[in-house]
Amino acid sequence: MLRDLVIIGGGPGGYEAAIRASQLGANVTLIEEDKLGGTCLNRGCIPTKSLYKNAGALEAVKSMAEFGVSVGEYTFDMAIAQKRKNEVVGKLVSGIEQLLKGNGVEVVRGRASFKGAKTLNVITAEGAEEITATNIIIATGSSPSEVPVPGIEDHRVVTSDELLNFEHVPKSLAILGGGVVGVEFAGIFASLGTEVTIIEFLPKILYRLDDELSKKLTVYLKKQGIKILTGSMLKEVQSSEDGLKITVENGKGPEEIYSDYLLAAAGRKPNTQGLDLEVSEIEYDKKGIKVDANYETSVKGVYAIGDAIGGVMLAHAASEEGKVCVENIYGHSSEVDYGAIPSCVFTFPEAASVGMTEEEAKEKNVEYIIGKSMFGANGKALTMAEGEGFVKVMAEKESHKIIGVHIMGPHASDIVHQGSMAIHCGLTVEDIKESVFAHPTLSEVFYEAVCGCIGEAIHSMPRKK
């Protein structure tokens, strides 16, 4: 039987594309070899945020005296934390299963590979099945990149998948990679009491963030006891009596780090292996599957989205690409506003960013103005004892349109969406200035930063002329 639409991969991009296509009247088949929800739900975003909440609870306990609460001695049980994490993940996976069922999406459990341009060979528990379709969307996601370094195969070198399932808190942990994954794990395990060292090849951690945001967050991470080695290359991993001897090289020469474990978090690679893309002549390289503006591959009627095409490797970007892809397939004109996709880092404090960084604006010769407001001057933040951080807003100099928002502070991951909507809708400083923000709220810091772009912030000292 010829299917209308077949989607390979049930992660955020795949399952949301399936539901949206069903809403548009398509008969949809979703093929998934593992659990629905993909890496994000099962081995990424959700599990890490569950452990992040555990770490946050510990951080709160440490500061209870400030609120007049005496807790005495306390302990942390990783097994209970893991149980809670697994329950959260299980509940969400079950929810996706019900959503797909409720929307009439056929789910096939198996591994798909191309047998022809529009024909798939699917290996299921029952055997092989051949499926043909009018349209196919590849949404196979990504996996941790391999690091070609001597000794990297040691069993104490782990991926994020393995670290998420640890039943104990290691005494020490080295992390290769200062991107979002590495930095988030660093914050979590440092809060749990682990001695953490980040090894980053580039001159700064979180290199995609605005430079000021990256530098300020680095300071706070170091205050939490996290050792950060930037401009450092991993040279070798050796087994030692106490765990691992990790050799790195930087401007100061070779340096040895001793650690119980090494987390390999130096990027991710698109999952294209095993799909037999060559059979259908779908063009791809190590960066991912090649697509056009409508996510169509070199083969008409075959599309690809999410991490499988490289680019913005974020779950919410994959979801948006999936929905836009099927909308264009079924006669709608849609596109993803990549300039308004926010990114968040769940550290203590949180960091979030959307739009242009200062470095990008300078590179593109965009003239801009800046407004900044500190959480330390915000009533809500101070009542929460979370006055660290700031909101930085960038606007075009001539039009005053908001072009970038960068936040470090409490609930940055929630506040950043005000910046995302402002950028997507082309709002100006004046548009937002004329809005009324409730008091006392953390969002007032965003409002003050916007007003600061034109020197009209009330709760910031006036700039010296």
344 three-state secondary structure: strand
Full pLDDT tens readout for the chain, 465 residues = 789 999 999 999 999 999 999 999 999 999 999 999 999 999 999 999 999 999 999 999 999 999 999 988 899 999 999 999 999 999 999 999 999 999 999 999 999 999 999 999 999 999 999 999 999 999 999 999 988 999 999 999 999 999 999 999 999 999 999 999 999 999 999 999 999 999 999 999 999 999 999 999 999 999 999 999 999 999 999 998 889 999 999 988 899 999 999 999 998 999 999 999 999 999 999 999 999 999 999 999 999 999 999 989 999 999 999 999 999 999 999 999 999 999 999 999 999 999 999 999 999 999 999 999 999 999 999 999 999 999 999 999 999 999 999 999 999 999 999 999 999 999 999 999 999 999 999 999 999 999 999 999 998 877 766
Place of tokens 């506003």: 337
367 three-state secondary structure: coil
400 three-state secondary structure: coil
From 338, 336, 335, 324, select the one nearest 24 (Cα to Cα).
Answer: 324
Strand partners of residue 401: 428
Contact 225, 190 (CB under 8 A): yes
Cα–Cα distance for residue pair 223/216, rounded to 1 Å: 11
> What region does 186 belong to: left with phi over 0, alpha with psi -120 to 50, or beta?
alpha
Cα–Cα distance for residue pair 383/376, rounded to 1 Å: 10
Its pTM stands at: 0.94
> Annotated catalytic sites, by residue?
439
DSSP secondary structure string for all residues of 133-194: EEEEEE---EEEPP---TTTTSTTEE-HHHHTT-SS--SEEEEE--SHHHHHHHHHHHHTT-
